[in-house]
Amino acid sequence: MNLRLRRGLLAGCASNHIERYTAEKPALDLANYFQGKTIGHGMVTDRSGAVIRRFVVRIDGQFSGSTGVLDEHFDWSDGEKERRVWRLEKAGPQQWIGRADDVDGVARGEVRGNSLRWGYVLNLKTKDGSVYKIDFDDWMHLIDPEGRVLMNRAIFSKFGIHLGEVIISFQKL
């Protein structure tokens, strides 16, 4: 077997695909899960896995028909406060698109079984005012049979180089 084929097979084994979660229960209904109040506790890690920031996010979700708004309020461990408002639209039976002021273009998401995968570019502002475009591969999975706990793991990178992760545990209030 040539080296290129071997590398391709190894890379294929290492990648995660949303289809693998199709039969997982309970099924994730994104609009239903985030309708009303949700709280999340999270942390940001660097590429080595060291925790560099912690936060609590309170979300007020309002959905009507095939559209919704997630109003997120972050309280960071260093005292910073942040707000992000997502405007979501169902683009198909299992597809969602999302927009937020600090997202470059649109976020594209797909739901299968108990899981959602988002892909987007975040315009990350630094304390000195610089802005970096960071790629996010964002996965959410319902954990408990009652569908109250949703775990979120977002891997972020630049030019394909792994920079770190955001891990959040959401709970319906």
Asked if residue 15 is part of any domain, the answer here is no
- The count of structural domains within the chain is 1
Asked if residue 72 is part of any domain, the answer here is yes
Asked if residue 8 is part of any domain, the answer here is no
Asked if residue 108 is part of any domain, the answer here is yes
Residues of the chain with pLDDT under 50: 1-13
What pLDDT does residue 12 have? Answer: 45
The b-or-e profile of 38-54 (16+ CB within 10 A means b, else e) is: bebebebbeeeeeeebe
Asked if residue 14 is part of any domain, the answer here is no
CA Rg, the chain, in Å? 17
What pLDDT does residue 2 have? Answer: 43
Give the domain range for residue 76: 20-172
What pLDDT does residue 126 have? Answer: 85
What pLDDT does residue 14 have? Answer: 55
Rounded to an integer, what distance in angstroms lies between the CA atom of residue 41 and that of residue 36? 17
pTM for the model stands at 0.88
Rounded to an integer, what distance in angstroms lies between the CA atom of residue 98 and that of residue 84? 12
Contacts of 92 (CB under 8 A, 6+ apart): none
For residue 53, the Cα-to-chain-centroid distance in whole angstroms is 17
Q: Read off the DSSP letter of residue 20.
A: G
**The domain that contains 32 carries what CATH number?**
2.40.128.20
What pLDDT does residue 96 have? Answer: 97
Asked if residue 9 is part of any domain, the answer here is no
Asked if residue 6 is part of any domain, the answer here is no
Is 88 in contact with 106 (CB distance < 8 Å)? no
Asked if residue 59 is part of any domain, the answer here is yes
